Amino acid sequence: VSVAQTMEDTCELDLVYITERIIAVSYPSSAEEQNFRSNLKEVAQMLKSKHGDNYLLFNLSERRHDISKLHSRVLDFGWPDLHTPALEKICSICKAMDTWLSAEPHNVVVLHNKGNRGRMGVVVAAYMHYSNISASADQALDRFAMKRFYEDKVLPVGQPSQKRYVHYFSGLLSGTIKMNNKPLFLHHVIMHGIPNFESKGGCRPFLKIYQAMQPVYTSGIYNVQGDSQTSICITIEPGLLLKGDILLKCYHKKFRSPTRDVIFRVQFHTCAIHDLGIVFGKEDLDEAFKDDRFPEYGKVEFVFSYGPEKIQGMEHLENGPSVSVDYNTSDPLIRWDSYDNFNVRREDSMEGTWAGPHQVHKAPDTGHSPGQSPDAPRPGKTRHRARRIDSSGG
Q: Per-residue pLDDT tens for 253-298?
A: 988 788 899 999 999 999 999 999 999 999 999 999 999 999 999 9
Residue 394: pLDDT over 80? no
pTM comes to: 0.83
Query: What long-range pairs does 331-340 form, CB within 8 A, spacing at least 24?
Result: 333/253, 333/258, 333/259, 333/260, 334/206, 334/218, 334/221, 334/253, 335/218, 337/208, 337/215, 339/80, 339/210, 339/213
The Cα 222–Cα 203 span in angstroms is: 8
The Cα 247–Cα 85 span in angstroms is: 11
Q: Looking at residues 120-149, what average pLDDT do you find? A: 88
The Cα 363–Cα 218 span in angstroms is: 30
Residue 363: pLDDT over 80? no
The Cα 189–Cα 277 span in angstroms is: 10
- The predicted structure's pLDDT at residue 320: 83
**DSSP 3-state assignment of 253?**
strand
φ and ψ at 369, to 5 degrees?
A: -80, 165
The Cα 394–Cα 38 span in angstroms is: 6
Q: Edge-to-edge, what's the strand order for the sheet holding 299-305?
A: 231-242, 184-192, 299-305, 277-281
- The predicted structure's pLDDT at residue 214: 95
The Cα 39–Cα 82 span in angstroms is: 23
> Contact, 60 vs 48, CB < 8 A?
no
Query: What is the CATH T-level fold of the domain 3-176+357-387, as seen in this structure?
Result: Protein-Tyrosine Phosphatase; Chain A (3.90.190)
Residue 371: pLDDT over 80? no
> Contact, 63 vs 78, CB < 8 A?
yes
φ and ψ at 346, to 5 degrees?
A: -70, 140
Task: Count the Cβ atoms, other than its own, within 10 Å of residue 361.
Answer: 15
pLDDT more than 70, % of the chain: 81
Q: Can you point out the beta strands (E) in the chain?
A: 14-17, 22-27, 55-59, 73-76, 108-114, 184-192, 205-211, 214-218, 221-224, 231-242, 245-253, 260-269, 277-281, 299-305, 323-326, 359-362, 385-387
Read off the pLDDT of residues 70-93 as tens digits, 9 standing for 90 and up.
Answer: 898 999 999 999 999 999 999 999
Task: Count the Cβ atoms, other than its own, within 10 Å of residue 228.
Answer: 19
Residue ranges of domains in the chain? 3-176+357-387, 184-335
The Cα 388–Cα 132 span in angstroms is: 29
What are the angstrom distances between the C-alpha of 148 and each of 120, 153, 154, 155, 166?
13, 8, 9, 10, 15
The Cα 273–Cα 178 span in angstroms is: 9
Q: Spell out the CATH class of 184-335.
A: mainly beta
Could you tell me the sign of the dihedral formed by the alpha carbons of 342, 348, 353, 356, in that order? positive
